[in-house]
Structure 1
């Protein structure tokens, strides 16, 4: 009986936790310290992705990053990603959006996504990820 109370408390707390949503952007919550940098356009996709590692270095005075994006879903996902860079005060650096890059993230796979800051003022980033319709990738006769 003494083990049921902690077990019940744990189950109650985990059942009540949800991913926060602000202005239509949800961030997956899986105890990763990096997921505040992941911006996803819908909550369902947010639950299928996580950032598991971020590596940074300086290249010619610019911040160079390698972000490991992990699938938490059993099927392949057709995605696009884009980096947004911020200065030391947290402001978006104008004209800094990288182009959207297409990837195919296989079920439960991890992929390293490279990014290079556009200016020396960039100190942090966010990674936007969106789904791509399979129909949009096929040519119709």
Structure 2
């Protein structure tokens, strides 16, 4: 556990309209906007990751999101990500965290991370990303 990097979270407001919508911002300008919303506990990881785009739409009355995560680093990064969903009052929707998903983000690459709200009450979300150690760990008794 000591090799896991603290979580970074991004709270993003998702669309509640009945028709598909996007963030409405070109990719070139999007990273600056999302970077302002980025909360990073680890400065090293924070310098290497940028959310470059967010798209939202309604699917069967549930909020469907695709977050584009971009690497600002030349080497591959071994990560895990997880969505957490919140209701209109900002409370976590209990028991509806997505499981941690493994992710390899290659140098200077982009990857789209899909998320689907668990209930109709979910209107916002956070995306947590953590680094995974690639070194073997020993357990001593």
Fold shared per TM-score above 0.5:
yes
- The 8 Å contact of residues 69 and 113 in structure 2, kept in 1 or not, is answered as yes
Q: Report what 2:75 is aligned to.
A: 75
Structure 1 stretches of at least 4 aligned residues deviating more than 3 Å after TM superposition: 24-28, 35-41
Aligned to 1:117: 117
1:101 aligns with 101
- State the 1:36 CA deviation: 5.7
Using the size of structure 2 for normalisation, the TM-score is 0.71
Please, what TM-score do these two structures have when normalized by structure 1? 0.71
Alignment length (residue pairs): 113
What runs of 5+ residues in structure 1 fail to find an aligned partner?
1-23
Higher share in helix: 1
Aligned residue number for residue 55 of structure 1:
55
**CA root-mean-square deviation:** 2.5
Higher relative contact order (CA 8 A, sep 6+): 2
In the other structure, the counterpart of 2:90 is 90
CA distance in 2: counterparts of 1:125 and 1:62, whole angstroms: 13
Structure whose alpha-carbon radius of gyration is higher: 1
Distance 2:127 2:61 in 1: 21
1:32 and 2:20 matched = no
Moved more, 36-45 or 100-109: 36-45
Deviation of 1:34 (Å): 2.3
Report the secondary structure of 1:112's partner residue.
strand
Report the alpha carbon displacement of residue 91 of structure 1 after superposing the two structures with TM. 1.3
For 1:38 and 1:25, how far apart are their aligned partners in 2? 11
Q: Provide the C-alpha distance between the structure 2 equivalents of 1:110 and 1:62, rounded to a whole number of angstroms.
A: 25
Gaps of 5+ in 2: 1-5, 11-29
- Cα distance in 2 for partners of 1:68, 1:79 equals 14
